[in-house]
Amino acid sequence: MYVLRTLGHLSFEVTEIVKAREFFDCLLLDLGFKRKYTTDEAVCYSSPRINIWFAKEQTPRTIRGNPSTDVDVVAEHTAIMVPDREKVKDIERKMIAKGYAPLFPAQGAPQFTEGYFSVSFVGPDNIVFEVYTNPEELTE
């Protein structure tokens, strides 16, 4: 019997492929993803466990508002787990150096679980990506 272990891919609608590619090259390539497909209409990043697609819709269907820092969590977001706090901080430094300010800076979030530590960024089209580590998940 087949047991689901991971998602196959995620796909996000974007309005500008070039801006999406610039932002996600900065974020995802340093997390071990490889850009496996690029056209004027789409870009795909691949890792051993998942592919993430960004595609331009001919007729936009999704409009995301600016996320607020007045909340603890932006409900719609994608989170990528890394092995430790140093990797979270490293991603934050590299993104800031490229001109991308964090939505939520690297910090602990004990309200979720002890040891949870993350940083979040808002990409083109207000797509929120979080990079985090969580000792509880790492030991599962």
Please give the pLDDT value at position 83. 92
Distance CA(8)–CA(101), nearest Å, equals: 30
Residues in the chain: 140
Residue-wise pLDDT tens for the chain (140 aa)? 555 556 778 999 999 999 999 999 999 999 999 999 999 999 999 998 899 999 998 777 777 777 777 766 777 889 999 999 999 999 999 999 999 999 999 999 888 889 999 999 999 889 999 999 998 887 65
For 9, other C-beta atoms within 10 Å of its C-beta total 11
Domain limits, the chain: 9-58+70-138
CATH architecture of the domain with residue range 9-58+70-138: Roll (3.10)
